Amino acid sequence: MLEGYWHFQCPECGFGDRELGRLAGDQELTCEVCVEEDRGAVRLERWLPQTAIPGYARLRGALAA
C-alpha cells in the first residue's frame, strides 16, 4: 500500500511543513505542537503537493544534465 504525503498547517498555532521540513503522512492528522502545549488535538489543514515527491523533478533534472 502506498503512503501519500501532504503539505500541512495548523489553524491554531500556524506550525506547518515549512517549519518541520517535511510533509505529513496520511495518518498524521493532528498538530504535534498543540498536543505538547496542552491545547488539545487540533486537526491539521492539509493539501496535496504539486509533485508526488518534493524536489524530485529538480534532482532528476540535475542528473539528466
Cell of 26: 496520511
Question: ∠ CA(58), CA(62), CA(63), 5° rounding?
Answer: 120
What predicted TM-score, i.e. pTM, was given to this entire model?
0.68
Residue pLDDT, tens place only, 10-30: 999 999 999 989 999 999 999
For residue 10, give the 3-state DSSP assignment.
Answer: coil
For the chain, the structural domain boundaries read 5-64
Residue 3 confidence (pLDDT): 74
CB atoms within 10 A of CB 42: 18
